[in-house]
Structure 1
Amino acid sequence: MKKILFNSAGNVAYLNGSVFSLGGAMAAAGASGGSAATKDGAAPSSPVLKGETGDVALWGPNNDFPQQVIAQAEKSTIIPSVLDWKTRAVYGGGPVYGRVTGYDQDGNEQFQRERLPDVEAFFRRSNIKRYAFEGLQNLFWFAQSYPELIQSLNKSKITTLTTQDTAFCRYSVPRASQPVPDWCHISANWPDAKPGDEYTTSVPVLDPYYDPVEALRADTRGFKHIYPLALPSPGKSLYQLASWNSIRRSGWLEVAQAIPEFKAALFKNQISVKYLIETHEGYWKWKYPDWDTKLTEVRRQLIADELAAFEATMTGTQGAGKSIMSLTITDPRTGEQIKAFNVTAIDDKLKSGLHIEDSQEASSHIYTALSVDPTLVGISPGKGMGAGSGSDKRVAFNNFISTHRFHQDLILEPLYLVRDYNGWPADLEFRFLNPLSQTADLSNANKNTAAGGQNDAADPA
């Protein structure tokens, strides 16, 4: 009796060197067949959203959600720079590899780095540092990343690992019988791009949840595959939603953006009046005895000349420290002493920090949505412009790094697939070097520590 082998998705069978496409015949809705390698009877269930039609699963009503996010974020002075800071902070010293040699008395792993020729060659060919940084950037912007695995011509090895820009990726419409869509369509021209046009590349997708190594070995759709990564968000079955996107729907981002627009318009269109000069009629008759007989045009010119002389005295840096003389004259009608002119300084509302409190409150909401302590990034806008103490920064930074281990693990996940596919040592582990901030009086200050490891197991910064 001849043995029939099925791939992990249950949609391809192999018999005597022949390949049979089974479609969804071997899988129930939302689930795929088991794995021949693991001897599982069925694959984990995967919910599939119905109602999608066409060749592309729309990301947003107009299939341009990432482009809309980028356009709106670019107007913010906080969002792009903070997302960039998060990427750099979590990247730290970059990815490394080695073995866990043991655990200390507190249960912390002791990580020993190594140098293996095959792994070194793969890291160089893949430019693994660039892969890791761009992958983290995709996660922080859109809660998903699209690593691309490239196989050798004989499919015996994975030769390269790279990543695609999330904003350029769209899935094909998933079918009820499959855990992941068949294809990832890659184009810089969404929402106008179409699968099959000369600017769009379609790459097959692997299921990251179930036996991807065997699925890749069995897949005959080409030499490159997408291994999708995502930060799960509640209720999203295909495209995930970054948690910070709440700020876009809350209205606070519009508030933060409206304030500089309002102030720019105010500066451009305001009437700048610094002094109110009140001149008594008798001053002009005292200075010009023939005032009553002068023509109106002459009077206006004399008043303008007087104002110009006053402004030359009171304004600009050259006027600093100068004095003005206020005349007192006798009113010929009443005999009273009157001031020739009275000068009143007008309060400049712009100097009072109009809307600074609103700006600070909006900024606070943005930082909260981005899950970053403002002391880590710098001075937050507003009247209370403190940047925090060194101790505050140290504790906040260490807390930040310690809560992002999953993001690092997610970016490293495809490397374990490569390890198993390429036959590297099974106990080889991958880590990020995490620079933890320490007090200045420690002799080993600012040492890098591999995620999950100890300072003495990693290289110094």
Structure 2
Amino acid sequence: MQQLLFSSAGSTAYWRGSGPLAGSVVRGLGFSAAAGSAGGNSATQDGATPSSPVEKGQNGDVALWGEANDFPQQVLKSLESNTILPSVLEWKTRAVYGGGVVYGRVTDFDGSGNEIFKRERLPDVEAFFRRSNIPRYAYEGLQNLFTYAQSYPELIQSLNKQKITTLTTQDTAFCRYSVPKANQPVPDYVHISANWPDAKPGDEYTTSVPVLDPYYEPVEALKADTRGFKYIYPLALPSPGKALYQLASWNSIRRSGWLDVAQAIPEFKAAMFKNQLSIKYLIETDERYWKWKYPDWDTKTTEQRRQIIGDELSDFEKTMTGAQGAGKSILSVSVQDPRTGESVSAFKVTAIDDKVKSGLHIEDSQEASSHIYTALSVDPTLVGISPGKGMGAGSGSDKRIAFNNFISTHRFHQDLILEPLYLVRDYNGWPEGLEFRFLNPLAQTADVSKSNTSTATGGQSDNAEPANN
């Protein structure tokens, strides 16, 4: 009985014999001859597999994500304590999702080289979209990419392994890789649990799912793999220098200190509002006033003097505070010094500066907010006004141009989310020319025809015009 089952390209084989390699997918040199005997063409077969750098130093069952294996959970804490990050990340997800995922064929190109994309309705694809709830898959996948720079789609096969029946996605914060081995293109498993960093592979709350290599013949590898009926097809935005877990570019705001500044300002102001002395006026009186008004002042007891001063202050507050005090006049009393004959003002009233009303730290708040929006790669005009004295949401033209530029620069994110659908297409035997797109509404000026307000983008082509079905 043949022990190696080769892929159609002849460079990947599944070992179905016994021994330590049982159930392994084998890749390497020297397969071309064996594959050639099965009808392969050695001139078109790969002579080697792509290189896969693996970071050494980790051991055990789980590749730690962060020193305490709780990096995603720390990111969530940062999100929950900031007023900008969560809403803008959600806005990015909604904007890039647009009108959702559609499918069809590219029938031609117009004079400018743009695709003419015609949507279709195929019963098998429609059934798969409904069963997999593709809108939810696409939205959650984009959300994972924007938050963590990686997403973990899960493919589920039929019982006879002839079809992929369902495509879903796991929450990135709940996923951890198994420790990769030397020369291994991807780790063997993704461990899924809502209890990190305390979860352990093998416990009743943790599920371990085999991983496919998205870079090299995933369809053939999936056909040859017998580790189960569900597989993780990992997606990631490239992050320089990261061998396993990628790092979202916006995380720089967490390490730069600006997120701490943005958080410290509201905490400081909240403490100021809570603890500030509610004193509006400083009232100073000359001692000679009391002796002038009360000739027996020197013979009065301390308690009597306090009572008299308190009554005077109460009368002053009735005059100066509240709506009843509006428009009232204050009588300023002057007394004559009996020794010098000099006229002395009995009262001196000084208004105390209210630092809260003066907008303390507004400039700092605005600068911190600007750094956050920059880290998120979002023009503030797209999501509302920025905190600060110069509050403004921008003009309609600013928003339109900023939105269209934003959509046009997120094509790769859409392509990543659509990538597993091409695997499903090829595995399930759907039409080879079937393409998948995100339907992106674009902001237009008022004089542009409504028929040109959206484009279907994504997959493996340039911007395309929507078909009129």
TM range (shorter): over 0.9
**Paired residues, number:** 455
Tell me the residue number matched to 1:69: 75
Equivalent position to 1:235, from 237, 241, 249? 241
Matched, 1:187 2:189: no
Aligned-pair Cα RMSD in Å = 2.6
Matched, 1:111 2:117: yes
Matched, 1:251 2:257: yes
Tell me the residue number matched to 1:312: 318
Tell me the residue number matched to 2:127: 121
Cα 1:24–1:41 change in 2 (3 A) is farther
Tell me the residue number matched to 2:404: 398
| 1:37-436 to 2 correspondences below 5 Å | 39-436=45-442
Cα 1:260–1:4 change in 2 (3 A) is closer
Deviations 1:280-336 (A, max 9, x none): 223323433433322211211221122122222222333333322222333333333
C-alpha separation in 2, matches of 1:191 and 1:77:
26
Give structure 1 stretches of 5+ with no counterpart: none
- Partner SS for 2:401: helix
C-alpha separation in 2, matches of 1:327 and 1:45:
92
Deviations 1:217-263 (A, max 9, x none): 11111111000000011111111111111111111111111111122
| Deviation at residue 19 of structure 1 after TM alignment | 10
| Deviation at residue 41 of structure 1 after TM alignment | 3.4
C-alpha separation in 2, matches of 1:276 and 1:27:
84
| Deviation at residue 215 of structure 1 after TM alignment | 1.0
Percent identical among aligned pairs is 77
Alignment-mate amino acid for residue 247 of structure 2: L
Question: After the TM superposition, which of the residue ranges 76-85 and 193-202 deviates more from structure 2?
Answer: 76-85
Alignment-mate amino acid for residue 223 of structure 1: F
Maintained 8 Å contact 2:14/2:24: no
Cα 1:307–1:431 change in 2 (3 A) is same
C-alpha separation in 1, matches of 2:336 and 2:69:
81
- Partner SS for 1:185: strand
C-alpha separation in 1, matches of 2:417 and 2:72:
20
C-alpha separation in 1, matches of 2:328 and 2:402:
52
Maintained 8 Å contact 1:132/1:411: yes
Q: TM-score of the superposition, structure 1-length normalised?
A: 0.92
C-alpha separation in 2, matches of 1:202 and 1:6:
26
| Deviation at residue 79 of structure 1 after TM alignment | 1.1
C-alpha separation in 2, matches of 1:129 and 1:438:
25
Deviations 1:99-145 (A, max 9, x none): 11111111111111111111111111111111101000000011000
Tell me the residue number matched to 2:6: 6
Maintained 8 Å contact 1:450/1:458: no
Alignment-mate amino acid for residue 125 of structure 2: V
Cα 1:58–1:378 change in 2 (3 A) is same
- Partner SS for 1:207: coil
Question: After the TM superposition, which of the residue ranges 426-435 and 276-285 deviates more from structure 2?
Answer: 276-285
Tell me the residue number matched to 2:467: 457
Maintained 8 Å contact 1:11/1:23: no
